[in-house]
Chain A
Amino acid sequence: MTLKVSAKDVNPKQVGSFAAAPRFLKLLSVFTLTLVLIPLVYLAIRSSENGWDSFVSIILRPRSVQTLFTSLALSLTVAIGALLIGLGVALILGKTNIMLRRLLLVLMPLPLAIPSYVIAYSYLTINPFLRGFWISAIILILATFPFVAIPTYALIRKINLNQEEVARTLGLSPLGVLMKVIWPQVRVASVAGALLSALYALSDFGTVSLMRLDTFTRVIYTVYRATFDRSGAASLGIMLLAVSLFVVFLERRGRGLVVPSSGQGRSGGVLAIGNYRHLAFLFVLSIYFATLVIPGYVLISRSISVGNSINIGNLISVISNTALVAFLGASVALLLAIPVGILSARFKSRFAQVIENSLLVTHALPGVVVGLALVALGARYLSGLYQTIYLLAFAYALLFIANSLGSVRSSLEKIPMRLDEVARSLGQTYSQTLRRVILPIATPGIFAGWLLVFVTAMKELPATLMLKPTGFETLSTSLWTATSISQYSQAAPFALALVLIASIPSYLLNRPNLAEREVMRENKDL
């Protein structure tokens, strides 16, 4: 039986395919990408405004070369330090039975939530004469070692215990097991974590400025403030951006190489290191002491000592300013991210991948670069937005859109495609399916992601300094202002409020629940 197709069978209105993404999603995604790229493209244009020769002469200036060298040295030092400390902490928590293991594990991600400039500030309060390369490096290492420790720990716990036991029966000592069984399996993840530390060091502005170390971020800010020489600052910004993108490139390449450990079998287990475990305990404790206890003590004690002179009204208005801009920024980031998230989670096309990847690399954008780009763009073309909180909120959106996209995408990916199909077969168009099925299910996850961006944006410093309207202060800028005129104690309440309102919630939201997950798994085994 052959059925011929005749012209009257075909209703042109019916053309459309299930697999192809609806056009409005593609258009909105392109819009998002364009919006994100405009400031960066403009920065590039601006840096070459005085001609290619001028650009080259700026980046070849001795001061630029010196800055490049300092920045690279700092980020390399931070990467190595974070790698060593992160590996050490992960190994000790994952492979030994030290005291308070669970508590130390739960606290492990906390340093990531505390802005490094708050740690730097608390050390300066104790000793106002601290400055320079090494103290900056140490603070950045303390603030970022969890980038290495968290993934390394997770992998260490996943390694099949049978592998280690087989290695022992084949004649390896515990140290041999560590070097020949464990290290090869965690190496890629640990180094990728260290590259994130390096990236953080490259884009950090607060710590190096407080410690008066001339890296890119501080020099760009100084050049911009002192001379309003935006082309010069823009050239340096492009240099910084190039270095950052290179680090992201390395990190993303590495991430693809992580070999998943074989899932079956027992995992965990303890390396017998005898009495060395007391030493190990002291090591972990001292890291936590320097990262969490000292800053915590300083913030609380100084806040109490200036307690009477705190202007509560001012503090509240600063807090509400901070929350307002962060709220706007997180919301804009979410709105821009949603179409791209839907496109990349539900339609796995090359088009979606290109847009998604271009947006994800924006997590490499240093706040200083985004601030500079928007200042330059705003002053010249967007005078209506310049010096308003809306431009600042847009800066936050640019800085955190990658995080937002990540959470949108992962919430959407958990929803089986079958639900889309069933909804379509029940007569719903794609937009109806989105509205009635996909978004309602994904909302809690998307909201949690929004909340995380919201609290993270509250901690942003350099872009806020460059873009805030005159007279408008946030927690981070108040802390900065007080510190830059050496009024360390006066800054304490702002720092404390920042930690309480932003750092601790972002820690609670983002905590990988390492310890809890383990308890659950152990209970399931019983």
Chain B
Amino acid sequence: MTDIRIDGLTVYYGTTRVLNELSLFVPTQNLVAVLGPSGCGKSTLLRSIAGFVAPKAGTIRFGSTLMSVSSVQVPPERRNVGYVPQEGALFPHLSVSKNVGFGLAKGKDSHKRIAEMLDLVGLADFKNRLPHQLSGGQQFRVAIARALAPAPNVMLLDEPFSSLDAQLREELRYEIKKILKDSKTTTLLVTHDREEALVMADLIAPMKNGKIVQLGSPQDVYNNPSGLETAISTGDALIVPAIKTKAGKIYTALSATKPLRGESGNVIIRPEEIEISFKKEKSNAKVSEIEYFGHDALIHLELANKIKVSARVAAPVAVKVGDRVNAKQKGPLRFFSKN
């Protein structure tokens, strides 16, 4: 159990810079999710921590122990990390219990540890099976047990659930989160799935162009994104033109009035922060389309100045396409200046 301290990490593939002086702190026993689109460098970050990629500059430490600096790389086998790649990557020629025991020194204790791990992931009855005889979810549990068995310093999960179907993914998220919490292991998870990051992580670290752009609790990052990209990567976000006056007052396209001058920019509004009501005389929007999801619906609205926004409303849905409604913004105004 240790924290992970990454400072100024820079990684090149050939001449392409993948990580750009990236810094990140993963506190002990926390689960941090690095969230970013594919190609943003998040897998490279994980692989650098595991020791598969040699960074050009910067340092990686586990606690105070140096793992990587440009001139010295501790080889992967001496970092004691638990690594769970996409699709688990079980050893196809070894049984479940041999997979789990792979990283343990041979001996009596190893059998005990294997049994313990299999109990932990609920696969004690499957210990003699071969990987291809397991379902996708079971394979993933074995991969977790195998990584946890040697009691690693840190756990590294690379898009862990991406190959599983939606329902299984949801079940496993909670289960794996609990297992990792109970084992008190510091965990770094990289994903492009915002829901996965929000549900699982203690802290979320949105990533962009090879840098971590923010670090905070899921709620914090969702409510106070540091930028437009972060807002979009953590959830549905409406980008609405706005003007900020010298006095600091913010007017958006949804406001009834408009100042004569001020700094122009955008505000970010979450669809659930738009309230719609039927006040004929105050109507400022027309319902252009309804996306119905069952438990809620997304009402697409067209404002007078052709600006499009949408509002998330709980079912049942009372409006229909073509209705004129009043749309009002009720949450915080997150203003981002144009420049």
Contacts and interface: CB of A to CB of B under 8 A. Distances in A.
Contacts of A229: none
Contacts of B147: 422, 425-426
B207 interface: no
A19 B54 contact: yes
Of B25, B80, B103, most A-chain CB atoms within 10 Å: B103
A246 interface: no
B75 A14 contact: yes
Interface stretch (B83-91, B183-191, B258-266, B281-289): B83-91
A485 B86 CA distance: 67
Contacts of A437: 91, 93
Nearest to A433: B77
Contact of A419 (B53, B74, B91): B91
Interface stretch (B64-72, B170-178, B192-200, B306-314): B64-72
B160 interface: no
B91 A421 contact: no
B77 A3 contact: no
Most buried by B among A18, A428, A437: A18
A425 B82 contact: yes
Contact of B73 (A5, A17, A422): A17
Contacts of A424: 51-52, 75-77
B86 A16 contact: no
A377 interface: no
A436 B69 CA distance: 30
Interface in A425-450: 425-429, 432, 436-437, 440-441
Contacts of B47: 421
Contact of B54 (A2, A9, A18): A18
B53 A5 contact: no
B12 interface: no
Interface residues of B, number: 42
Given A1-B25, A418-B85, A427 B103 contact: yes
Contacts of B156: 425
Nearest to A15: B72
A12 to B, nearest CB: 8
Contacts of B76: 18, 421, 424-425
A14 B73 contact: yes
A10 interface: yes
Contacts of A17: 54, 73, 75
A14 B74 contact: yes
A26 B325 CA distance: 73
B78 interface: yes
A326 B165 CA distance: 51
A418 B89 contact: yes
Contacts of B103: 425-428
B7 interface: yes
B85 A16 contact: no
Interface residues of A, number: 31
A14 B54 CA distance: 13
Contacts of B20: none
A425 B81 contact: yes
B126 interface: no
A17 B78 CA distance: 12
A15 B83 contact: no
B23 interface: yes
Interface string A378-401: 000000000000000000000000
Nearest to A415: B92
Contacts of A51: none
A421 B158 CA distance: 12
Contacts of A432: 77
A475 to B, nearest CB: 37
Interface in B89-114: 89, 91-93, 102-103
B215 to A, nearest CB: 12
Contacts of B270: none
Cβ-closest 10 pairs across A and B:
A426-B103, A425-B83, A424-B76, A418-B89, A9-B66, A418-B85, A16-B75, A18-B52, A14-B74, A427-B77
Given A3-B61, A16-B73, A426-B103, 8 more contacts: A1-B25, A10-B72, A14-B74, A18-B54, A421-B52, A425-B81, A429-B75, A436-B102
28 contacts: A1-B23, A3-B5, A5-B59, A10-B71, A14-B74, A14-B75, A16-B75, A17-B75, A18-B75, A418-B85, A418-B87, A418-B89, A422-B85, A422-B91, A424-B51, A424-B76, A424-B77, A425-B50, A425-B51, A425-B83, A427-B77, A427-B78, A428-B102, A429-B75, A429-B77, A437-B91, A437-B93, A441-B92
Interface of B: 5, 7-8, 23, 25, 47, 50-54, 59, 61, 65-66, 69, 71-83, 85-87, 89, 91-93, 102-103, 146-147, 150, 156
